[in-house]
Amino acid sequence: MKIAAARVYLVRSGRFHPVLLELLTDDGTAGIGEAAIAYGHGGTAAAGMLKDLCEALVLGRDPFRIEELWSDLYDHSFWAKGGGPIVFAAISAIDQALHDIKGKALGVPAFELLGGRFRDEVRVYANGWCSGKATPDAFASAGMRPVGEGYDALKCYPLGVRDAAGSMRHVSRRTLDAAALDLAFEKVAALRRAVGPKVEIMLDMSGGVTTDESIRLCRRWEPLDILFVEEPVDPFDATAMRRVSEAVAMPVAAGERHYTRHGFRKLFDHQAVGIVQPDVGNTGGLLEAKKIAAMAEAYTMRVAPHNCGSSLLTAASLQLAAAIPNFMIQEIYPYFPEDPGYVQVLENPPERSVRQGRMAIPDGPGLGVRLDRTAVAPFLWAECLPAS
């Protein structure tokens, strides 16, 4: 079996732009993966990186030799060494697609290729419910929706503000005035009062403020029984992250903007966090995320996989969640389909299986999901074929 062709899709789906890859083998098997640059900026760059890597290093290769191919992508793309999200998002999509192909060829789920599963379902938390909620009352009221639908864990952005388009905007220039910090505290306090003591709350600060302000604000939140605070300072600064961890009585989490085991090493070496959040769509793929989870286990850290993309990224994330012992909780965005212009890229999205805040692990071959080719066909960005 050889990889005979590749298709890259740059999807426009509501506010996001998922970057999808389909690898096709010479015997007709197809594998799919996602480069997790669906939000922010860089989707076109990730699509271009996928095209370049597939044409230069993937076409004609044996899809079963995943570790070897990953190493070649790392060694011979040149930019992967010390690289950032674009190159590693592309490598991640390739890795996922290879696991999908190999799982389908062997008739087993991808988690069997990672050592087998620890669990049949995972606990999930709802994200994406608080965008643009400007007052404490509106914030708390929005949180009651997912709780009413059975979720017992919520993540929110208390520092986020509404931009001109009505979406959430993170902190700029590392500074907020006293009124904005008071508002951030009151939003979370109102949410805690509304949802009660049994619903777990996670706070994402998106690396927006300085270390001293982060510590002051986190200490105000401590009595509200917060499950974890994510990226309380700039993710580049592991020393500052450790300062926050040592100064506040709540777990600190980070990882969505760290790439490969090499990038996570500074979090481990500094004991900067208690929870790591590798994203299988940008940290290097399933194999690399599994290695990061193993390193985290050696440092007695938990893993809460990051996930903000299409349903394909959710499916890949679940394969990882099934196969690691130190899994904590899985991120999902249940309300993406309500965005105007949303495109569901899968025929069988795993989000449909959520019941009472739990999601079943897809157990079909490979990633256990099927690409909706009709839905993604208008977004075909590049088709890669062997040079004639």
Residues 6+ apart with CB under 8 A from 326: 293, 296, 297, 301, 302, 303
Nearest to 58 by CA among 360, 362, 387, 344: 387
Number of CB atoms found within 10 A of residue 352's CB: 12
β-partners of residue 23 are 6, 31
Contact 53, 86 (CB under 8 A): no
DSSP symbol at 334: T
Q: How far is CA 325 from the centre of its chain?
A: 19
β-partners of residue 275 are 253, 302
CATH number of 3-107+370-384: 3.30.390.10
Q: How far is CA 82 from the centre of its chain?
A: 20
Q: Comparing 165 with 383, which gets the higher pLDDT?
A: 383
Q: CA 226, CA 251: separation in Å to the nearest integer?
A: 8
Q: Where in the chain is the domain with CATH 3.30.390.10?
A: 3-107+370-384
Q: CA 82, CA 262: separation in Å to the nearest integer?
A: 8
Answer yes or no: is pLDDT of 165 > 70.
Answer: no
Number of CB atoms found within 10 A of residue 223's CB: 10
Alpha carbons within 13 A on the beta-carbon side of 180:
16
Identify the CATH class of 113-360: alpha beta
DSSP symbol at 66: H
Using one digit for the tens of pLDDT, what is the confidence trace for 184-204?
999 999 999 999 999 999 999
Answer yes or no: is pLDDT of 166 > 60.
Answer: no
pTM for this predicted structure: 0.96
DSSP symbol at 127: -
Mean pLDDT, the chain, integer: 95
Q: Where in the chain is the domain with CATH 3.20.20.120?
A: 113-360
Confidence of residue 205 (pLDDT cuts 50, 70, 90): very high
- The whole-number pLDDT of residue 15 equals 87
Contact 283, 92 (CB under 8 A): yes
